[in-house]
Chains A and B, each alone.
Chain A
Amino acid sequence: MLAYIVRRLLQVIPTLLFISLVLYGLLALKPGDPIDELRRGNPGFTQADYERLREFYGLDKPWYVRYWRWLGRAVQGDFGPSRQFGRPAAQYVFENRLPNTLLLSGVALLVALVISIPTGVLSALKQHSALDYTVTVFNFLGVSVPIFWLGIMLIYLFAVRTGGFLPAGSMMTPGITGAWPVFVDRLRHLLLPVAALSSLHLAQWTRFMRSSMLEVVRLDYLTTARAKGLREGKVVYRHALRNAILPLITLVGLSIPQLFSGAVLTETVFNWPGMGRAIFDAILVNDFNVAMVSLMFISLLILACNLLADLAYALADPRIRYD
């Protein structure tokens, strides 16, 4: 097993190098560079200024030369400055963006999980009841309503129509201090984006939980459990749910990378400064260092998750051996 892990870790290095080369090359293909952003809004900006600044930042070199230079510094942990925000790109991503994404996506994931499991179970147990039909209708709505539209509607209903009962966006109200006021303020700002972001997962996972539960409750071992005289609650939650939930765990696991990569639509609509929006904006305004550090981090995360998943299989299933 150890040899396998070492081998896989060694494979990560060339994979990351290849990914970085492809990403850098793709970004370099896009017309424009950070100096073009300076040209706009500065009417006195001359060609001499343009060439001087391009040379200063090394942007006059071919993309592969720039890549090599970037790589040399990146392996030492220096991903260069963010042209958009005038600070180290890595610092900007990991201090200003990643925590926000983790907060929003984490809470949304948790909310979706906490609601979808009992709802799916109840819906399955009460199949064809009014509750089941209601849940099904909401599930279809959740799956089919675009998040950005739902977000706008939530803002309209709970912020605009109510004259600011809930915030229309952003993460905080300027000027609020003190632990409890700050906590409540963050909570208020989280409500609408979490509602929007969790809606899709909530609907999908409820559907999934319902069907998974429906399959399990018909199996013979549950009939046996009931025949043995076990209480219905124990039958459902100890025997049925534990088996029915396994596929959902896989599904939730697959959603974990999204926790870090951000949700660009929700972040945009609610002005939530997360990773998804950071990558999108960075590419649009030619802030390549921010784009590279974000995308490389996500790539690394996916590689790590894949490795962990493979190891988890081995731990879970004795038939799998990597040695």
Chain B
Amino acid sequence: MRNIMVLLALLSGLALAVLGGPTFNNLVIGATQEPSNLFPWEGAADTKENVMALFNIGLTFFDSNGHLMPGLATEVPTPDNGRVKVIYDANGDFVRQEVHWTLRDDAYWSDGVPITTDDVTFTFEVQRTPEIPVTTRSFSDLIEEIRVLGLKDFVIVYKAPNLFYANIAGAIGLARFYDIAPAHIWGPIYRQVMIQVKAEPGKAADIISGQLLGAPAATGVDPTKVIGSGAFKFVEWRINQFIRFARRTDFFLAPPGRAEEYVQEIIVRFIVNQPTLISALLAGEIDASDDIALAGQDPAILRQQYRLGTVFVDPSGFIEKLNFNLFASCKAAADLLLGDKRTRQAIIMAIDREDLAETVYPGAIVSNSFVVRGDVGFTENLNPWPYNPPGAKALLAELGWADLDGDGVLERLTEDGRAVKFELHWVSTTASFRVRTGEVLQEFLADVGIRLVVENLPGSVVFSTEYLNHGSECTWRGIVEYAEGGGTGEAPADPLSNELWAFDYLKAPLSQVSENIPLPENGFGGTNIMGWNSPQFDQLRADALREFDTERRAAIVAEMQKVYNVELPTVPLYERTDCIAVRTGLVNYRRGTPVARTQFWNPWEWGWEQNGARSVR
């Protein structure tokens, strides 16, 4: 009978209205990216984090106000509740850090199996198995041991300070995605794979890729094997089309009122082409967008077009920046004196960043820091670097730049007598807002005598190690523009702006070669692609990473921002926003603060007002 009704609806062209939204009490979300697999230990991209959040929950989660809330844990460990102990020796040097967790008694996997410390120890075992290609070990390497105190209690002992011991996204040191994986599902697969890997070590990559990353529990080929700890359970994954989840009745967090009044099914549709996704939104085929789908869209225009619902703008936690090549070894960059902070200061003054943000990323807020608003230590007490072309020209003149041949472009004579024109190369991805940025920057910089040479390359090229990390060899020779996490939720796990430090002052003795500036001596490793080296900043960073007291850490982070704001190793343009479209009647689908990382933090609360769901966010 249902099929006949659906068929009639299809034939009359009403299918989508019938099958989606409040009528069926489900939610269809549009996303432009698709996860590669559902393997809990490995992967990239926010989309995987979003999709995994629909059927998993971590030990903790951030709510839309930025508060860290207990998820699988009974409470968030803090020094105040006695669950976090930092042990120092008689000299006041750090010895270890202990974090005591207790799992909820009513926490079950989606197949009804209780979640216990067996799952915790198993997750950690996989995480530290050398043969398993987990995405990162930067936090699990800090773990000395996990002490099991019972079926629900365990203590993680860190051998180095971990300020982010309770944050999601892998900072606890367990699985990258939502901390704990089901041992009863992954255990047998893992053991079988390891037996084969030991037998044929030469084929380890093939065996693990095929049988672990490609296991039915990761690909969804067998839905009964895809088990999670979250509010919804996995139903099916039609690759390149959609992934579907159904509400669990035994999940420990409940929405206000009766659960039946909230969405019973979530479908994430993958529509890679943004204009097509927007069309589907306008046509009512999807009820909401995720936080990536509408990146760079003008919310004002979307609001005009989208008559079926509302367009929200939330801060994203990312700061769009101009990264300068500061390497003396790159002659083309050195000739332009990019290593002299006055050049960078002149450039920031030459750009009307308010106008730029309004033009290329409507809704974005101009930034003067590497930390986003609302995060620990964010300060407004910085030079706002207002638009000041005369000031920029004066600084450039002070550096010896002058328009010698009257063509409108500055020149100067180098120490070895060469005439150099101020032709500055700017590279970024092909995202439409970045293409527009290149054009706008060209105009602003032309006004002060700088010719900007614009190049837009595919993201996979711009972000490739061979390109980005080889600035010392002049693979890029001026500016690379992209966005970086500005110290959000996981984020000081960006550990206090991972891209800015040069030497790790937490280690003694200090390394001879920078661990974080990509150079031939360190195999071009590191994320400080500019080559900025500030001992003052590095010392402050180390102090901050050692400081467990939030207020004192905030004061140090504020100092770091002052150094950054004067030196400007990168020119911060604006804090990006996430544009999220939501159909009328859908409630609690909000991200709020960027600390929440995603608006997928509370799927159990999503519902349609038409069906009785109550708005609490």
Contacts and interface: CB of A to CB of B under 8 A. Distances in A.
Interface stretch (A11-19, A32-40, A309-317): A32-40
B17 interface: yes
B283 A163 contact: yes
B188 to A, nearest CB: 19
B305 to A, nearest CB: 9
Contacts of A57: 133, 205, 209
A140 interface: no
Contact of B214 (A86, A96, A181): A86
Contacts, number: 234
A32 B461 contact: yes
Interface string A49-92: 11111001110000000000000000000101101111110001
B275 interface: yes
A103 B3 CA distance: 24
Contacts of A233: none
Contact of B3 (A51, A97, A177): A177
Contacts of B464: 31-33, 36, 286
A89 to B, nearest CB: 11
Given A159-B283, A160-B279, A46 B136 contact: yes
A174 B267 contact: yes
A1 B231 CA distance: 67
A164 interface: yes
B36 A85 contact: yes
Contacts of A174: 19, 28, 238, 241-242, 244, 267, 269
A40 B135 contact: no
B239 interface: yes
A78 B204 CA distance: 15
B460 interface: yes
B522 A273 contact: no
Contacts of A155: 276, 279
Interface stretch (A117-125, A129-137, A214-222, A264-272): A264-272
B17 A164 contact: yes
A285 B133 contact: no
A81 B3 contact: no
B39 interface: yes
A168 to B, nearest CB: 4
Question: On chain A, which size bracket covers the interface?
Answer: 35 or more
Interface stretch (B42-50, B394-402, B547-555): B42-50
A49 B523 contact: no
B135 A45 contact: yes
A86 B39 contact: yes
B512 interface: no
A177 to B, nearest CB: 7
Interface string B240-273: 1110100000000000000000000101011111
A237 interface: no
Contacts of A47: 515, 522-523, 525-526
A81 B214 contact: yes
Contacts of B210: 81, 88
A168 B15 CA distance: 13
Contacts of B460: 30-32, 36-37, 284-286
B523 A176 contact: no
B11 A281 contact: no
A36 B524 CA distance: 13
A44 interface: yes
B56 to A, nearest CB: 17
A173 interface: yes
Interface centre among B136, B205, B265, B523, by most chain A C-beta atoms within 10 angstroms, is B136
A41 B50 CA distance: 12
A170 B283 contact: no
A96 B525 contact: no
B171 interface: yes
Contacts of A10: none
B279 A175 contact: no
B384 interface: no
Interface in B15-34: 15-17, 19, 24, 26, 28, 34
A172 B213 CA distance: 27
A169 B522 CA distance: 48
A42 interface: yes
A176 B275 contact: no
Nearest to B271: A271
Contact of B19 (A58, A165, A173): A173
Nearest to A37: B44
B3 A180 contact: yes
Given A42-B44, A44-B495, 5 more contacts: A37-B45, A50-B465, A174-B241, A175-B24, A286-B460
9 contacts: A36-B463, A40-B463, A53-B135, A57-B205, A96-B239, A96-B240, A160-B283, A174-B242, A285-B460
Closest 3 A/B residue pairs (Cβ) = A47-B525, A32-B464, A86-B37
Interface of B: 2-3, 6-7, 10-11, 13, 15-17, 19, 24, 26, 28, 34, 36-37, 39, 42-46, 49, 131, 133, 135-139, 169-171, 176, 204-206, 209-210, 213-214, 218-219, 238-242, 244, 265, 267, 269-273, 275-277, 279-280, 282-285, 458-461, 463-467, 475, 485, 490-491, 493-495, 498, 515, 522-523, 525-526
Interface of A: 30-33, 35-53, 56-58, 78, 80-81, 83-88, 92, 96-97, 152, 155-156, 159-160, 162-178, 180-181, 184-185, 188, 268-271, 273, 277, 281, 284-286
